[in-house]
Amino acid sequence: MGDLNEIFDLERKTLHDVVQRLDMSRRDFLQFCSTLAVAMGLPSGAEAAIAKAIETAKRPSVIWLHFQECTGCSESLLRAEHPTLDKLILDVISLDYHETLMAAAGHQAEAARKDAMKANKGKYVLVVEGAIPVKENGIYCKIGGQTAIDMVKECAADAAAVIAIGSCASWGGMPSTGPNPSGSTGLGEVLGKPVVTIPGCPPNPYNFLATVVHFLTFGKLPEVDKLGRPKFAYSRLIHENCERRAHFDAGRFAIEFGDSGHRQGYCLYKLGCKGPETYANCPTLGFGDAGENNWPVGCGHPCIGCTEKGVGFTKPIHQVSRMINVAPPLQYPRIVEEQGQGATFASAAALTALAAAAAGAAAMLTRNLGLSHAAEEAQRAKDASKAKEKEGV
């Protein structure tokens, strides 16, 4: 794994060089390595291996493609602070092609992509942002005269690793919402093989960064679930780590936006929060390095389930989520309780009549029970008298 003595050797030359390149203090750099190790769920000592890899390993070439998307995934990456984007693309990875961030354009941009692929054949990391339209041979998305289908297949052929970033690339996302006229599809379906997916709209940039650093450190991608999502980030339900979970367990829910419960931070389950059926680390990691509560539920908006196919952009935002591992008690009221009418004059009269009839029936029943008991006693006495007469004879 890694040598802890080495990571705390603060005077070694490679460490001195890397902190100068990253413009970070040694303490901040080592803290960054430790944070990545914890985020990926690695055992003690992994921070040393991460530090060593960042110091000495060759920066991996990254080819970043854009298709049907809003560039929100790249925008999210721009908000990363540890490290900042400039340090990431200049010192941790070599971002050789990214249509939004690169200076080149047109033929020069496409030439840069092909040159990077040729120079790093079998070693570069392919990152795909956005869904891929497949209807009518993919004519709905073209770059440099080449369809998204052809471009992604060409780039994936010699890639060492393929990563789909964002819900659109992972499983189709918002572009695939019905009726889906362009046939928007996830990367894995187009390539016909599993790929690492980092869903979210947008995903947390540190989930992507940790995945790349894992590849840089260990020469392989992290362990993933059946949907290709890294387990270190997508193995637990949002509901399990939500700061509002205690209110759920206590039966305290916001019923309307802005009501007393909503202002007091009550659970948003009844407002349609999809946290109980969505796997992601949003509540534990947050977004944008902006302090606590820097994620949708923390800010007062229900989770929309953007990391889950069949939930995000499919289920209405107000629809109650499907509970996967815990269900609220049956006595919890529904979101919309049926409102009954007050007692009318006729219904009150009918109820009174029924009550009187019930009382009369009870009285008759009591009387009949009494008569029945008296008759039984008289019959017993008569039988006893006859028995004595027989004995006298």
Residue stretches of the annotated binding site: 70, 73, 168, 201, 239, 242, 267, 273, 282, 303, 306
* Whether the Cβ atoms of residue 34 and residue 63 lie closer than 8 Å to each other: no
Q: Which 3 state secondary structure label does DSSP give 322?
A: coil
Q: Residues 33-56, buried b or exposed e (16+ Cβ, 10 A)?
A: bbebbebbebeeebbbbbbbbbbe
* Whether the Cβ atoms of residue 184 and residue 133 lie closer than 8 Å to each other: yes
Of 79, 20, 37, the closest CA to residue 290 belongs to 79
Q: What is the largest CA-CA distance in the chain?
A: 135
* Whether the Cβ atoms of residue 125 and residue 95 lie closer than 8 Å to each other: no
- CA-CA distances (angstroms) from residue 354 to 148, 236, 346, 358, 361? 75, 56, 12, 6, 10
* CA–CA distance, 238 with 236 (Å, rounded to integer): 6
Residue stretches of the annotated binding site for [4Fe-4S] cluster: 70, 73, 168, 201, 239, 242, 267, 273
Residue stretches of the annotated binding site for [3Fe-4S] cluster: 282, 303, 306
Of 14, 26, 10, the closest CA to residue 53 belongs to 14
